[in-house]
């Protein structure tokens, strides 16, 4: 009996040691690599690419970098986009964060900086020329840079050229009045004029953001990011604009419970299958649409135009809203991690990146590889824009952003007013 | 507890804490040695209790009590979840929750789901159970069919109904082809209708569980009672009213308790079908949805923790009141035993 118990204890202790050992190994695995005595360094990267071209790009980049710098091994970990934030937050708090990770920017980056979890990037003039001032500005707080941008995601309205032709629309609209007229024309050929995935809230809210971009001055938008107060009348005006636009019933039936990216019934799916004429979206949309067409090939008649001008607004009529993809370094990352990021924004890497993700690279020299007609239109509008604004829910942080998004959905459902958006946004600022 | 006490066969006394083996030997020892042996025995019993209950207690403390304590701690901070919390705000989070109109709304929705679940599912389950307790053809097939929705995972149920009830989904399409086009509706996005859609799905999903419970309850009622009543000339309805229902009452009370707890924690179906953003617009948001939307999705971990504490307290109070006043008789000898002694 006792001997049995003793051997059982021994087994248990052994198991415990084994578990602890593997636990430790696991910790090191996902944690920052750091250097070792022989100068060999392993860098871990968390990225959010989908399986396919994007993931292949990262693996190739890691291989190519290792070939150039044999003492640096880059370990790429693909993490599902929706899982990334939660995993990353846990890892940052537990001090097991990867060396390099996707940075969403805005309020989230501010919280990470406040908690001392990010490294400031000391960029050279070459880096600044490569990445471009506008994009770097999006990842700066008080003049300090905390992430290296890789692509910009300008937003505008994607449309089906065929359906526009069928409806007798000769040129994409440039003002709200023209857009309203085109909505009426599209209804006549029995397609949903505009698709929106309001179940996800943000795609609906982007309509409000763009009205705010037109109604509010650049200064108002920037100041709100610092003070989180939304008392300027332009915020209410933007909501009124949206409410007025809703009067022409531009969105598909049942848009409140439609998602934006999943399945043929989603807003991107409706556009992909010629069931809807337009969709307001960032420039990841062509990739999503491609995955939802019947043959999973790019939609051949896809076009793009910037958000129409609004009369009497304080914002510049050609200003553009754009997201950013970039990468931050955790506080323990070795100096080789920065060198890897610097290498990623060089011309050749940016070209490969742009091709893999069908996106707009921040490096102007690499922008020649952009050939799709919708991306060319986007790039022209982006290069013409006097300034670009980050999506407001990113810029103002999840807390305020979420409240704004939900309030916009309420307005769309006829349950709230423009004033309610401002009220909900101000109230949310008090909670966080 | 009483299982660990052995009755000493030699002395006929209860030898508290003394293992059964050796009981006779202990009786033969002088008093001082007996006391020592008893002490040893008692220590041994304590060790046994510690060994047997230790793992469960550790798990309970680590995964139930500790998180609740942590949530209570975080609830006093304005905290975004990065680094340790530093911005102490006292009871401000609780003040904001209790004054938030959105929270009043979710309380109302949760209360509605709670009451409607009891009112709709209870009678329906009793009737179905009575029916399925008869000897009818295909009884086991019907039982399986009624129980089937309960064993399908919430995510699958939510996704399935969510797709079918879209405005251009299968349900509206079917109505159209049946010539019932006038019945087509915005099942999910009409804020007057959505809560009833939710109730229909909840009823469909959970009625099987209630019926199984009731059936088990019915089968534990001795047949002799029915026979005696029949011999005395009681009608079918009199038998149900005077014998079945009173004897089924403990089962109904336990089912109602489970239903109430389930309603208070309702989350997954709403989250899958409406999502955290549209649920409040459609009028189906629940307390748990509010917690996730305002806490996790908004990145307000301090505020979210405070909501969790409020939810915990509400559930605790409801559960305690129910146990104290409704389940008192059923739980006699279990939870109330300590107090009665």
The enclosing domain of B125 has a CATH number of 1.10.3720.10
Q: Between residues 10 and 69 of chain A, which touch chain B (CB distance below 8 Å)?
A: none
A104 reaches B (C-beta below 8 A): no
Q: State yes or no: pLDDT of B299 exceeds 90.
A: no
A259-266: which pairs have CB atoms within 8 A and are 24 or more residues apart?
A259/A197, A259/A199, A259/A200, A260/A196, A260/A197, A260/A199, A260/A200, A260/A202, A260/A203, A261/A197, A261/A200, A261/A288, A261/A292, A263/A292, A264/A292, A265/B163, A265/B166, A265/B168, A265/B169, A266/A197, A266/A292
CB B96 within 8 A of CB A431: yes
B67 and B107, same domain (yes or no) = no
pLDDT along chain A (432 residues), means of 10: 44 43 40 57 91 88 94 92 86 92 89 91 92 84 91 93 95 94 95 93 95 94 87 94 95 88 88 95 89 89 94 91 92 93 93 88 88 89 86 88 91 90 89 75
Instruction: Answer whether residue B35 is part of any domain.
Output: yes
Q: How far is CA B282 from CA A231, A254, A267, A348, B279, in A?
A: 28, 12, 19, 49, 5
> For residue A255, how many other CB atoms are within 10 A of its CB?
25
φ/ψ region of A168 (left if φ > 0, alpha if ψ in -120 to 50, else beta) reads left
Instruction: Answer whether residue B159 is part of any domain.
Output: yes
A254 reaches B (C-beta below 8 A): yes
A257 reaches B (C-beta below 8 A): yes
User: In B, which residues are within 8 Å of A405 by CB distance?
Assistant: 277
Contact across the interface for B298 and A107, Cβ inside 8 Å? no
Element (H, E) at A47: strand A41-47
Instruction: Answer whether residue B85 is part of any domain.
Output: no
Instruction: Answer whether residue B47 is part of any domain.
Output: yes
B304: nearest CA partner in chain A: A431
CB A359 within 8 A of CB A291: no
Please state the domain count of chain B.
2
A96-113 residue pLDDT tens: 999 999 998 888 898 899
Helix, strand or coil for residue A151? Answer: strand
User: What is the distance in angstroms between the Cα of B87 and the nearest Cα belonging to chain A?
Assistant: 10
Contact across the interface for A254 and B277, Cβ inside 8 Å? no
What mean pLDDT value characterizes chain A? 87
pLDDT of res. B12: 41
B290 and B228, same domain (yes or no) = yes
Instruction: Answer whether residue B83 is part of any domain.
Output: no
Last residue of a domain, one of B74, B103, B124: B74
User: What is the distance in angstroms between the Cα of B74 and the nearest Cα belonging to chain A?
Assistant: 13
B100: nearest CA partner in chain A: A427
A115 reaches B (C-beta below 8 A): yes
The DSSP annotation for A109-137 comes to: HHHHHHTT-BPPP---HHHHHHH-HHHHH
Element (H, E) at A101: strand A100-103
Neighbour-count burial for A274-298, b at 16+ CB within 10 Å, e otherwise: ebbbbbbbbbbbbbbbbebbeeeeb
Residues A165 and A173: their CA atoms lie apart, in Å, by 13
Burial class (CB in 10 A: 0-12, 13-18, 19+), A23: exposed
Q: Are strands B14-15 and B6-7 parallel, antiparallel or unpaired?
A: antiparallel
Instruction: Answer whether residue B81 is part of any domain.
Output: no
Predicted complex ipTM exceeds 0.95: no
A63-75 residue pLDDT tens: 999 999 999 999 9
pTM beyond 0.90, yes or no: no
User: In A, which residues are within 8 Å of B21 by CB distance?
Assistant: none
Q: Which residues lie below 8 Å from residue A384, measured CB to CB, with a gap of 6+?
A: A318
CB B322 within 8 A of CB B252: no
Structural domains of chain A sorted by starting position, each given as residue range(s) with its CATH number in brackets: 31-153+323-382 (3.40.190.10), 154-322+388-431 (3.40.190.10)
Q: How far is CA B9 from CA B2, B29, B41, B240, in A?
A: 16, 16, 17, 49
Residues B129 and B146: their CA atoms lie apart, in Å, by 10
Q: Domain residues for B51?
A: 2-74
Residues A285 and A374: their CA atoms lie apart, in Å, by 11
B130 and B14, same domain (yes or no) = no
Q: Report the residue from B96, B168, B188 with minimal CB separation from A431.
A: B96
Q: Report the residue from B81, B167, B298 with minimal CB separation from A254.
A: B167
B65 and B125, same domain (yes or no) = no
């Amino acid at each position: 009996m006792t001997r049995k118990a003793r051997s059982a204890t021994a087994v248990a202790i052994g198991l415990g040691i084994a578990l602890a050992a593997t636990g430790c190994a696991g910790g090191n695995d996902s944690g920052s690599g750091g250097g070792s005595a022989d100068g060999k360094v392993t860098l871990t990267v968390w990225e959010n690419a989908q399986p396919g071209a994007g993931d292949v790009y990262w693996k190739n980049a890691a291989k190519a970098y290792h070939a150039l710098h044999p003492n640096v091994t880059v370990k790429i970990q693909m993490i599902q986009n929706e899982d990334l934030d939660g995993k990353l937050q846990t890892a940052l708090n537990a001090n097991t964060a990867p060396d390099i990770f996707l940075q969403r920017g805005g309020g989230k980056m501010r919280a990470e900086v406040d908690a001392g979890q990010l490294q400031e990037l000391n960029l050279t003039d070459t880096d600044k020329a490569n990445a471009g001032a506008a994009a770097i500005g999006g990842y700066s707080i008080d003049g300090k840079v905390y992430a290296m941008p890789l692509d910009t995601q300008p937003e505008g309205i994607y449309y089906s050229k065929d359906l526009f032709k069928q409806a007798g629309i000769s040129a994409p609209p440039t003002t709200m009045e023209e857009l309203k007229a085109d909505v009426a024309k599209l209804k006549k050929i029995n397609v949903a004029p505009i698709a929106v995935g309001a179940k996800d809230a943000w795609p609906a809210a982007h309509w409000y953001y763009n009205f705010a971009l037109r109604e509010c001055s650049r200064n108002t938008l920037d100041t709100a990011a610092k003070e989180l107060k939304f008392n300027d009348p332009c915020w209410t005006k933007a909501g009124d604009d949206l409410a007025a636009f809703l009067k022409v019933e531009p969105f598909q039936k049942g848009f409140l419970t439609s998602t934006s990216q999943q399945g043929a019934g989603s807003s991107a799916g409706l556009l992909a299958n010629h069931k809807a004429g337009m969709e307001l979206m960032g420039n990841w949309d062509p990739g999503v649409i491609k995955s939802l067409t019947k043959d999973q090939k790019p939609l051949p008649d896809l076009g793009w135009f910037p958000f129409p001008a609004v009369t009497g607004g304080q914002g510049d009529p050609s200003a553009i809203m754009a997201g950013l993809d970039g990468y931050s370094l955790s506080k323990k990352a070795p100096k080789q991690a920065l060198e890897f990021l610097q290498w990623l924004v060089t011309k050749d890497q940016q070209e490969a990146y742009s091709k893999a993700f069908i996106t707009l690279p921040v490096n102007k020299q690499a922008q020649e590889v952009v050939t799709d007609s919708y991306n060319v239109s986007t790039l022209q509008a982006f290069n013409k824009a006097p300034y670009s604004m980050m999506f407001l829910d990113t810029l103002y942080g999840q807390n305020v952003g979420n409240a704004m998004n939900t309030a916009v959905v309420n307005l769309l459902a006829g349950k709230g007013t423009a004033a309610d958006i401002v009220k909900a946004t101000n109230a949310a600022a008090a909670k966080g | 507890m009483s299982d660990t006490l052995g009755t000493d066969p030699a002395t006929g006394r209860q030898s508290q804490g003394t293992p059964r083996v050796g009981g006779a030997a202990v009786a033969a020892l002088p008093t001082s040695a007996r006391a020592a042996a008893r002490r040893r025995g008692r220590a041994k019993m304590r060790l046994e209790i510690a060994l047997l209950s230790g793992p469960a207690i550790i798990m309970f403390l680590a995964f139930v009590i500790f998180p609740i304590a942590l949530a209570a701690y975080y609830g006093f901070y304005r905290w975004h979840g990065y680094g340790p919390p530093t911005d102490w705000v006292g009871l401000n989070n609780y003040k904001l929750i209790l004054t938030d109109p959105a929270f009043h709304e979710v309380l109302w929705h949760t209360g509605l789901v709670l009451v409607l679940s009891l009112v709709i599912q209870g009678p329906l389950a009793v009737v179905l159970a009575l029916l399925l307790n008869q000897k009818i053809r295909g009884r086991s097939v019907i039982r399986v069919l009624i129980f089937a929705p309960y064993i399908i995972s919430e995510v699958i149920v939510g996704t399935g109904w969510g797709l079918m009830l879209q405005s251009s989904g299968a349900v509206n399409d079917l109505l159209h082809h049946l010539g019932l086009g006038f019945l087509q509706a915005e099942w999910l996005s009409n804020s007057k209708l959505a809560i009833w859609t939710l109730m229909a799905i909840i009823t469909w999903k959970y009625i099987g569980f209630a019926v199984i419970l009731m059936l088990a309850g019915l089968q534990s009622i001795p047949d002799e009672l029915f026979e005696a009543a029949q011999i005395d000339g009681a009608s079918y309805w009199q038998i149900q009213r005077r014998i079945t229902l009173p004897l089924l009452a403990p089962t109904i009370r336990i089912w109602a308790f489970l239903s109430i707890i389930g309603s208070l924690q309702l989350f997954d179906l709403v989250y899958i079908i409406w999502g955290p953003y549209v649920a409040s617009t459609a009028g189906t948001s629940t307390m748990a949805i509010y917690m996730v939307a305002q806490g996790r999705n908004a990145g307000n971990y301090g505020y979210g923790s405070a909501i969790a504490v409020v939810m915990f307290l509400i559930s605790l109070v409801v559960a305690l009141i129910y146990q104290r006043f409704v389940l008192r008789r059923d739980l006699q000898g279990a939870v109330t035993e300590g107090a009665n002694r």
